[in-house]
A and B are shown apart, each in its own frame.
Chain A
Amino acid sequence: MKLSELLMIWSDTPAVSTLIWLILILVAMYLGRSSAHKLINAATGLLNSVMKFTSESLVSLEQRIAKRNKQVILHEGSEATERAIEREFYRVSSIVAQDLSAYPTVQRKITDAINQIEADYQASNETPPSPPEWLEAVEAISNIQGNGDSAVDRILESIKDSLEQAHKDTLRAFRKSSLVRLQVMKKMLPSWRGLSQTVSHMNKSVTDLGERADFIDTQMQQYEKIRAEDDKVARLLTSSSLTQFFVAGLVLVIAILGGVINFQLIALPMSEMVGGTSEIGGWRTADIAAMVIIMVEVAMGLFLLESLRITHLFPLIGSMDDKMRRRMMIVALSILTILATVEASLAYMRDLLAMDREVLTQSLAGVVVTNAEFRWIPSIGQMVMGFILPFALAFVAIPLESFVHSSRTVIGLVVAGVIRTLAYIVSMAGQATEQAGNIIGYAYDMIIFLPLAMEQWARQIKDVRKTDSVEDVYDVDETVGGSKL
């Protein structure tokens, strides 16, 4: 039976039939009001409970994830701090081994230098030779004035000459003595300088050691806070991790762009090697080969930096013995260099192919084929780029490591954020469902307002009648027990 036929079941007139249907529905709704209200309340209550339970579960999950995130962050922070402390201890150990282990030798050197300086000082202290004792008597005689006697004058002149000669001798002896002292002092100079250098070197080492000690103190304090699971440190580490994530992401984007340029350089000439017509999985084989070369270069870069212990993505490589690691480093570097050379030659071939194509295009266009000037500049430029880019790409391991490590934190934060939002939405939806139940109940009553109003009206009449009858009874009682009796 169609809906239209069902609608017209009561009467051929649509209005009458619809009216009958409406009345029937209203009556049915009025009769089932109590059950309908219970059903609506039960359904919305159930939905609200489910949503509340879901929200609580999500909140609990979010808390667990947040706790795990904190643990991950603190673990990474503690690892980084441990590495920093280890590195500082290694440096302190180097300083102690290089500089302070030689302290007895240095001390002996200083003592020797001081003894030498003291000896030289003593040597420079020797008094110069004094003039002869008789010189004063001769000076007194030479000061006597001549009385015009030529013999006396000659004698006095002779005495004066002797006196002057004696002065000169004394002066010469003094100068000689001073020169000797100066030479002794000069011998002290290298010892002095050596002493100064040794002391300043020691001072530098000790200062450096002090700075290292301060740094270790700071790191140890942070380490203690991390061990104590301090929230402030966790927040700082999270912030640092986010910064690292974005910076590493930016560098990776740059590296990808470099990879794209590299790909453009070698994709065309690769057709010469593997053919330009075949495809693998919908991709040109030449393109795949070019991509593989770039990927292998990146992988070699990873291994190279791992074997140099710059990155720590592969613990197996890091834990290899030094000899093996060195071999691996040499192999990775050799393969990288070979691939870079291959790329440089491919880049050159690309230039040749481009030139060939240019000549063909000119020929097809009917233009006279000309040799462009300075054509060698882009050729060399492409070759250099082809050689340099693989090495530049090799360093992608460093930002990649940072990105991988920091992405754990970022993914954890994002997941926690999404779950928190979901919990909030579900909770809100639960509240809304409960309110919707009330609204549906009111709407239900509004639809059957007429029977409800009639019911209310009937009840009021009934109440009025009941009141009247009670009053009548009271009136009768009062009449029976009152003045009428």
Chain B
Amino acid sequence: MKQLRNLIVVVLALGLAACGEKVPKTKGVYMLIDTSGTYTMELDKARKIANYLLGNLNSGDSLAMAKIDSASFSEKDIIAKVTFDSRPSTTTSQKHMFKRKLDEFVSTAKPSAHTDITGAVLQASEYLNETNAKEKYILIFSDLEEDLAKGYIRDFTIPLVSIKVVALNVTKLRSDNVDPRDYLNRLDAWEKRVYAGGGEWKVLNDLDHLNKLLGS
């Protein structure tokens, strides 16, 4: 009799566990846009990527967009951030709002003096860890040439556990054409830093294949 009671309790517990409300695989995406020097000329491409993200992220997903400037480890650099509501109609409204903010930024963006990519990535990592998203992405729209202002310390390991870092549109600098090893070294250095932080690294230069952006 006691065994039967225990069995019923176990079955009920299993049933409740199976029926418990679970949060599905949500995505958290943090896009960093380089605004240094002539890279502001590339902002239209960044808008295209952002539009792609807005079209593909769904309810429950989080999206944030921030600029990379001279001192990027700051919330002030966040252009727009949103966690999409569980109701589809509200999600659509949030996307419209996000797009408006992005358009406003693209039309008013000014070049920054320095490029603090490490600070921006650290800021992105902090944000993504707070979202509790199952899949976390940091998209870096930059040439990956870091140019820190005097006194800024950025030579440390960035915590990037279970975060996928995707470098987008890593345009070749003029010096790269002279010595392509600079370009390869930059990519290599960043790859090492990402893996050292526990993250994954990927480069996507061809923006016609954005469908691979949030894939494995």
Listed in ascending order, the chain A residues whose CB lies under 8 Å from chain B are 268, 271-272, 275-282, 284-285, 352-353, 356-357, 360-361, 363-366
B19, B26, B55, B88 pick with most chain A CB within 10 angstroms: B88
Q: Are B87 and A275 in contact (CB under 8 A)?
A: yes
- Whether B99 and A277, one on each chain, are in contact in the complex, defined by CB atoms closer than 8 angstroms, is no
Contact (Cβ within 8 A) B59 A271: yes
B22 touches A365 (CB 8 A): no
Could you name 12 residue pairs across A and B whose Cβ atoms are closer than 8 Å?
A268-B88, A276-B58, A276-B87, A277-B24, A277-B60, A277-B86, A278-B22, A285-B21, A352-B89, A353-B89, A353-B92, A365-B51
Distance, CA A271 to CA B20, complexed state (A): 18
Q: Cα distance A279–B60 when bound, in Å?
A: 12
Interface residue? B54 (CB, 8 A)? yes
A284 and B24 form a contact (CB under 8 A): yes
A281 touching B19 by the CB < 8 A rule?
Answer: yes
User: Which residue on A lies nearest to B58, using beta carbons?
Assistant: A276
What's the Cα separation between A356 and B89 when bound, in Å?
8
CB atoms of B88 and A272 under 8 A apart:
yes
Q: How far is the CA of A282 from the CA of B18 in the complex (A)?
A: 8
Counting CB contacts under 8 A, is B114 at the interface? no
Chain A hits for B92, CB < 8 A: 353, 356-357, 360
Q: Is the CB of A280 within 8 A of B21?
A: yes
The answer to whether A276 and B59 touch across the interface, beta carbons within 8 angstroms, is yes
Bound together, the chains give a CA A329 to CA B24 distance in angstroms of: 41
- Contact of B178 with A by CB under 8 A: no
**Nearest chain B CB to A209's CB is how many angstroms away?**
61
B87 adjacent to A271 (CB under 8 Å): yes
By a CB distance below 8 angstroms, the chain A residues around B59 are 271, 275-277
Check: B67 CB closer than 8 A to any chain A CB. no
User: What are the residues of chain B within 8 A of A275 when measuring CB–CB?
Assistant: 59, 86-87
Q: Let me know if B19 and A271 touch, CB within 8 A.
A: no
Query: Contact: B24 with A280, CB < 8 Å?
Result: no
- Is there an interface contact between A281 and B87, defined as CB atoms closer than 8 Å? no
A360 near B20 with CB under 8 A, answer no
B96 on the interface (CB 8 Å rule)?
Answer: yes
Q: A271-B88, A284-B24, A353-B88 are in contact. Are A276 and B99 (CB under 8 A)?
A: no
Give A365 to B18 CA distance when docked, in angstroms. 41
Q: How many residues of B contact A (CB 8 A)?
A: 24
B96 touches A363 (CB 8 A): yes
In residues 1-47 of chain B, which contact A (Cβ within 8 Å)? 18-24, 26
Say yes or no for B164: interface residue by CB 8 A criterion: no
Q: Which 8 A-B pairs have the closest CB atoms?
A: A275-B86, A277-B60, A276-B59, A364-B51, A277-B86, A279-B22, A356-B92, A281-B18
Q: Provide the bound-state CA to CA distance between A99 and B52, in Å.
A: 79
What's the nearest-Cβ distance from chain B to residue A375, in Å?
17
A420 to B55, CA, bound (A): 60
In this assembly, does B136 line the interface, its C-beta being within 8 Å of a C-beta of chain A?
A: no
Question: Complex formed: what's the CA distance from A364 to B50 in Å?
Answer: 9
B95 is an interface residue with CB less than 8 A from chain A: yes
B residues in contact with A271, CB < 8 Å: 59, 86-88
CB distance from A264 to the nearest CB of B (A): 15
CA distance A268 to B86 in the complex (A): 12
- Once the chains bind, are A272 and B87 in contact (CB under 8 Å)? yes
Contacts of A280 in B (CB 8 A): 19-22
**Smallest CB gap from B54: residue in A:** A364
Would you give the shortest CB distance from B73 to chain A, in whole angstroms?
30
List B contacts of A277 (CB < 8 A): 23-24, 26, 59-60, 86
A276 touches B55 (CB 8 A): no
B21 touches A278 (CB 8 A): yes
CB neighbors of A among B120-167 (8 A)? none
**A363 to B87 CA separation, bound complex (whole angstroms):** 20
The answer for the CA separation of A364 and B52 in the assembled complex, in Å, is: 8
A172 to chain B, nearest CB (A): 97
Q: Is the CB of B88 within 8 A of A276?
A: yes
Chain B residue with the shortest CB-CB distance to A285: B21
A285 to B23, CA, bound (A): 10
Which residues of chain A are near B23, meaning CB under 8 Å?
277-279
Question: Which residues of chain B come closer than 8 Å to A356, judged between CB atoms?
Answer: 88-89, 92
CA distance A271 to B92 in the complex (A): 13
Flag if B21 contacts A360 (CB, 8 Å).
no
- Which of A282, A361, A364 has the most CB atoms of chain B within a 10 A radius of its CB? A364
Question: A278-B22, A279-B24, A281-B19 known; 12 other A-B pairs, CB under 8 Å?
Answer: A272-B89, A276-B86, A276-B91, A277-B26, A277-B59, A277-B60, A278-B21, A278-B86, A280-B22, A357-B88, A360-B55, A366-B51
Residues of B within 8 A of A366 (CB): 51
